[in-house]
Structure formats: C-alpha cells, structure tokens
Chains A and B, each alone.
Chain A
C-alpha cells in the first residue's frame, strides 16, 4: 500500500530582497506520514526558508503545497496551525517570566468557567498543571509545570517548545536545527522522545546539517544545495559519506580556484591563547579553549557552520564581546583580551583591520551615504584642522568604487545598493587604509557573484603578498581551500582541526570535520 504523503511541496521558489539572493529555487519535498524526515544541507542551502514557507512564516514566490493530498496556500502561522503544522525554531519563542505550563498552553489556558469566561477569563491553575503533567507523560517528557521558563536548561526549553506544538494537536512537527544547542546526552534524550512522537503517529521534519545525527534518527532524508533539492533518499539505503558528498557537491566542485603559493613563514603577528567566550544565546557553546597563531604573509582560514562558534569568535576578535578568558599576542606585546578597552585601541589605530560579517548593522550605517560610510572608519584623514575635506573624500570614494567595480555614486544612500555592492564597499574601505598588520575578514565573499568574489580574493592575496597577516572566518569551504595556508575547523566551539592546507585536505574531508563526523 502506498504510504500516505503528509507534505508535498513542488516547485517552491523564493527570492529575498534587497540582496536578490534566491533562497529556494524550484525546491521540492515529499514527507511520508508518521515518519521522521530530515532535510540536510550547508548554510544557505535553503532548508530553513523552505520550512518557514511550510510553517506560514514566509510566502513563496512560486510553487505548490499539498497537505495530506489537499492543495493549500499557507498564509500565516495561524493558518499553518489550522492545517496541523507546527514549527520549533532554532531560537526559541519562550516567555521567560511565565511558567512552563503557561508557556505550553499559551493562548489555550483552561479557564474557570464558573467565573468570567472569555478574554478576562480566570485561569484554572490546577487544571493547567494537570494538563501539563498529562501531556508531558504521554510523550515521555519530564518537566516541572511550575518552573519559570527563564530558569530552564536549553534542552528543557526545547521540550517545552515541542510540547507546545503537541498541545495544539499539531501532527506535522518541524524542528529547525534542534541539536545545535544540545550536548551529546541531551541529543540522545531528544531522539528518544522524537521516536516516541513518531510512534504516536505524528510526522516530524528535522532541518539539520549534522549527518551523523541524521543517520541515527531519520527514516528518509532530502538533500538541498543552493536552494535546489538534490534528491531524497532512504536512510537505510545510504551512508554518511555519500550524504556528505551530496551535500558538498564534490562531483560538481572540480574547478577549485588555484591553490595559493605556500607561504614563506614570516614572524608571528597575532597569536591567541586559551580563548573562551560564552555564546550569545542562552547556553550556546560559544568558543572554548582556542589557540592559534597567524604569521605575516600567511592566511589562516577558520571554518565552521553556523551555531558552532564562528560568530562568537568574530565578536571577541572584533572587540564586541568580552571573552571569559583569553590572551592575545600582537606584534610582540601580550594583552589580556578581557581588557576590552585596550584591545579596541588596537582596532581603532588601524593596526588590526576587521571586516564584520554583519553588513547591514555593524559594517555599515545604511541610512548614510556611500561616501559617509566609506570615510567613517578612517575619518581623521578627511578632516584638516577640523574642516571636512569634501573633495578629497569624494575623490577617494570614487577611486575605491571604481577600483572595486562598485556601481554606485558617493552621494547615494547606502541602503539603495545591492548586498554585493555593500560588501564590496566594506572591503574597499578596509583596503584603502594603510595596509593593517593583521586583517580579520569575516564571510568576505558571502553573497557575492563570481566576478566580485575573484576580485576580493585577489585583493586578499595582494595583501598577503604585501606582508599582512590574514585571518579569514568563513563558512564557505571553497573559499577557505582556495585562500588559506592553514585551516582551522570549529565544531561545537572547539577546534577539531588545525593543519596546513596541504594536498590532504579537500572539500569532502573538511566537510566531515565541519559536520562533526571527524575530529583530530
């Protein structure tokens, strides 16, 4: 007998503005009822977007969706809920000052009908607690209904989120990167519960990039890459390596950009010892125990998938996050990075050049003009005895725009530029100053087209040849392979690989480190 298809998505396309990035490109998905179905892919593969469309948080530009055979247009999260679809997000929708029970039953709290019903209805607290206990027991969760949600551990909060969906009788459950914030044991516990939920007849869709976990828990898996669906496979009929290949697209990846010349190792410019920084969100791992060094004329590429500590590393090195531990040795002098003011001085003086990954907020002030953004970082140069040297600023801005092939005018508002042009502007700005001794570049070519990427890579290599020490933080494996002399991979906040970029390392191998399938 044909298995019942709970969810069928066909031809889903979605483009985001103003970046113009095509998040989903004729993507498709078929999920059998009562199964655990995984969707895997790298960052930016389009998995989350596809699920947001299914959950009613986004509208597709094109495509059809069928739920249990019936075609639907999912207009809103409320509509998705009516269809029985619920989503547990990566960043939980918790109400910290409400209790567990209040969180789970938010909006459907049992009322004491003897008093006033309706919106002023008085909560029947006893019934609330009872119902919470009951539903938790049904699925094998152990929770204290009266606990404050803000005090709960990450895995407990996740359980609350899941119960929230189940309490509303939602039988198609979407989990977005559910294990990115869990420890090993918590992951095992979660998987037991998911199996129980499946046993009760619900359908579960897990979005993840962790192959090892997919192999453990899922029945079938859909691989996505660059917004497209590559294929759907039975777990029983595939292996972790095969999946890794499919995700990375090793077959497609023949033309890697020419490997850089092995660096003549100059002196150590920048060294980090024992860096530890707490994660941004509740209990995220952050980074732990990082040690690395960058030499003059060398590129160290740090690679990780999102949620594994790259963001915290960037913030710590960029002076935006005070680490809990860590020393840096820059240009011979040792500094405790926790003394954030002194560290920031290095950045301010231009000795360290930092290119943020967040272009919209940190790297640019979108409401200012292109020229204002360009001159902001090295602004002292553009004021002579207090007076603004307008012609100089405009001229240098125009030179930079031309040199980096940015189609924009200095007087334009930066918000009007495309995402790619904004990034090119940020890079142009960084390289226009007297070349810093250390460059920290975060996601330097994310979202750029091939020509611009090549341009940027060329600049990076030029800077390297001129003697800068370069640290690249990127989730783009190709970029790291193309540019780096040494590669460090982070998984769950720790360095699982730190080695030179010899012939040993290729996409597939690095992918295994990234996905947690291998560790030094």
Chain B
C-alpha cells in the first residue's frame, strides 16, 4: 500500500544511501583538485577499494578491517600514480587511465584466483550498524529517510566535515591549497610542491577506497564494474562544487537522486530499464554542461 509520501520517502532514503560512495570519492578528489591535479582515476581506485575491502571484510569478519584494507588498496593505487606522474614526469591523465585499467585487470585476475569466479562474489559480512537509535526511525517521514541510515552513510558526512576542516584549518590543508594556487610561489618560498601533490593524491585514494568499500557493503558483494562510472560522476560532482565541500555534497545528492529515481522507475514504469539506467549519466552530463556554460570566463 504505497502512498505518494511513502514512495517519496523511499526514494529519498535510497538517495542518501546512494550518495555515500559518491561523497567519499568526490571529497577525496577534492584534495587532489585543490593541489592542481585532476584525478581521473577515482573510478579505478574505487574499484580497488571495493574488491580488497570486501575481501578483507569477508575474510576477517570485521567491517573495520575491510575499510582499512579498502583504503590501503586505493592508496597503493594512487601512490603508484603519484610516483610515476611526479617523479617520472608522466602525463597525469594517462597515468589516471592506466590506474583505471589496472584496477579492472587486477580485480578480475584476483577474483578468479581467490574466489574462483569473475562474476558476482558474495561476501558474508557483518551487518552495518544503524547510526541512530531505533525510536528515531519511527518519526514519520524523516524517520525512514534520515534516521534509518547506517553508520557508513553517517561516516560519509563526517568525512565531508572532517575534510572541510582539514582543508581550511590545518597547515597541511593550507599547503595543499597553496600548491594548487601558485606552485611556483610554494617552490620559491622553500617548500616542495611535489610533496603536496603526492599527499593530495593519497587523500583521493583514501576517499575513493572508502567509497568503493561502501559500494561493496551496500550489496554485500563484489561484481565486475561495480563502480559503473561512479568515479566519473564523483569527479563531476567535485567540479560542480567549485571547491566547496558543501556544494560538492549537494551535487552528490543530486546525482544520487538521479540514481535513486532510475531505480524506482525501472521497477514501476513502462520505460525500458536499460534506458533508465542511462539517466544518472545524462543528469551528470547536463549538469556539467550547464555549470560550464554558466561560468563567465
């Protein structure tokens, strides 16, 4: 017996949940953007985070271990990208593409080797604890939408706030931003821009790793192409946010809403599901173009 209100609540609830991986990854991408590097490997890094995170969580029975493993895997990927780009003076976009390809290959090969399948790998992981006490969940409308979310989704918002704080209020954050504003000045003042470039990439690894892990947890499994372009969508969300964490979060919610709507429409309407799947990409593209067109150079 679904009324329009419950349908809306469902959609919004799913939106907030779907925003979780995007929030993690896009804020991670923000760090590298602030240092002047457009990191297009968010997609691949998320994939690494999902695979290794789920594998570790399944093997250890602990979500915390899984999260750490997911972060570690993505950090290794971003570190590799950083070393080759910075020390070997490679092209950042090509190393980014390479990391994306590497993730696809590594996850497939290891999936076959460890789990004997390249397709869906289900993991037996503990349930993620809810973030709020149960009685809050019974408040009409806001209850299901906001207060039934789990701690992983809540952490995503903590991540946004923490990142905003680090960026604005720590010496480290100031230096990363300065590197992006005027690398030459950083150098002339006696600090090494290379270090902050690398640090920024590592941060984006942390964010993407967590984002990928969150994806895996949401379906208790790993599937090939689990990210399905979310890394790119996170990138656009970051671009739309113009460097401000709160605006980035808002963009993530927008794209998560598109995903949520497309899920909903698939179940209910006559529009072919495959077409509906294209909705999030279309929304992302239109937003990107609108934002770029609106910018007065």
Contact = CB atoms under 8 A, between A and B. Distances in A.
Complex A–B touching at CB under 8 A: yes
B190 A95 contact: no
B169 A123 contact: yes
A326 to B, nearest CB: 22
A277 to B, nearest CB: 18
A355 B182 CA distance: 31
B184 interface: yes
A81 B190 contact: yes
Given A76-B190, A93-B188, A95-B185, A121 B178 contact: no
A123 B172 contact: no
A109 B171 contact: yes
A94 B181 CA distance: 9
Given A76-B190, A81-B190, A109-B174, A93 B169 contact: no
A119 B185 contact: no
B173 to A, nearest CB: 9
B185 A120 contact: no
B270 interface: no
A98 interface: yes
B177 interface: yes
A78 interface: yes
A77 B189 contact: yes
Contacts of A111: 171
Given A76-B190, A107-B189, A95 B172 contact: no
B177 A123 contact: no
A121 B165 CA distance: 11
Contact of A106 (B170, B178, B184, B187): B178
Nearest to B165: A122
Given A81-B190, A94-B182, A119 B171 contact: yes
A358 interface: no
Contacts of A120: 166, 170-172
A411 to B, nearest CB: 28
B interface SS class: helix
Output the residue of B166, B178, B184 with the most chain A CB within 10 A: B178
A102 interface: yes
B190 A102 contact: no
B191 interface: yes
A95 B34 CA distance: 12
Nearest to B34: A97
A167 to B, nearest CB: 11
B190 A107 contact: yes
B178 A98 contact: yes
A293 interface: no
Given A98-B177, A106-B178, A93 B185 contact: yes
Nearest to A80: B190
B169 A77 contact: no
A57 interface: yes
A93 B189 contact: yes
A81 B190 CA distance: 8
Contacts of A78: 190
A96 interface: yes
A89 B172 CA distance: 25
Interface string A70-82: 0000001110010
Given A77-B190, A107-B190, A119 B184 contact: no
Contact of A121 (B171, B181, B187): B171
B189 A106 contact: yes
A110 B104 CA distance: 45
Nearest to A89: B188
A94 B185 contact: yes
Contact of B181 (A77, A81, A95): A95
A123 B191 contact: no
Given A77-B188, A78-B190, A123-B169, A106 B174 contact: yes
Interface in A334-375: none
A111 B191 CA distance: 18
A94 B184 CA distance: 10
Nearest to B181: A95
A168 to B, nearest CB: 9
Contacts of A89: 188
Contacts of A121: 170-172
Given A77-B188, A93-B184, A123 B170 contact: yes
B171 A93 contact: no
Contacts of A95: 177-178, 181-182, 185
Contacts of A94: 182, 185
B162 to A, nearest CB: 11
Given A111-B171, A119-B170, A123-B174, 12 more contacts: A57-B188, A77-B189, A78-B190, A93-B189, A97-B181, A106-B189, A107-B189, A119-B171, A120-B170, A121-B171, A123-B169, A123-B171
30 contacts: A57-B188, A76-B190, A77-B188, A78-B190, A81-B190, A89-B188, A94-B182, A94-B185, A95-B177, A95-B182, A95-B185, A96-B181, A97-B177, A97-B181, A98-B181, A106-B174, A106-B189, A107-B175, A107-B191, A119-B170, A119-B171, A120-B166, A120-B172, A121-B170, A121-B172, A122-B169, A122-B170, A123-B170, A123-B174, A125-B169
Interface of B: 166, 169-172, 174-175, 177-178, 181-182, 184-185, 187-191
